[in-house]
Structures are given as C-alpha cells and as structure tokens.
Amino acid sequence: RSMLQTDQPTPTIGSQLANMRMEEDGSYLIYFGPKAPKGYENNWLQTIPNKSWFVMLRMFGPTEKWFDQTWRPSEIELI
C-alpha cells in the first residue's frame, strides 16, 4: 500500500523517530487529522478530509505481552 498523499514529507510515525513525545507512562499518543494538535506535531499524521485511510501496526521484536495478549494497542478515539 502506498503512503498517504499529504503535505507531510514522510507520512509515518514510529517510536524510533526523533522528537516523538512520550507520555509519562512510556506510551505514545498518535494523532490523525487535518491539523496537528499543539505540542504533538511530531506525533501527528495528516489526513485529508473526504479521503480514505487506514491504520497499520507493524511490530519489530514484540515481547511476550504481545503473544500472550496482555498488551494490545488502544482503539482509535475521536477527540
């Protein structure tokens, strides 16, 4: 699948990218929308109104919590 066609030069998010904002509990909030929320510009993926998109989670070296299903990503929430 091709990347999003947006104004962002690299429409991708990952914990290995520089300047991602980590929450106090070690998690990352990722935002999807036409405009970045203030303070979370590096945790944001631009979407284009009336265009389709989907989320793909790619795991590198998942730990036991992934396999025994004691950890799972949160649902996407409208804010």
pLDDT tens digits, one per residue of 8-27: 777 778 777 778 898 999 88
* Nearest-angstrom CA–CA distance, 29 and 74: 10
pTM to 2 decimals? Answer: 0.75
User: Given the structure tokens 């795991």, which residue do they identify?
Assistant: 59
Q: Which domains does the chain have, with CATH numbers?
A: 1-79 (2.60.120.600)
Residue 40, helix vs strand vs coil? coil
Q: Answer whether residue 2 shows pLDDT above 60.
A: no
Written as one letter, the residue type at 79 is I
Cα angle value 72/73/79 (rounded, 5°): 145
- Residues paired with 46 in a beta bridge: 33
Written as six digits, the tokens of 51 are 């265009």
Mean pLDDT of 58-65: 87
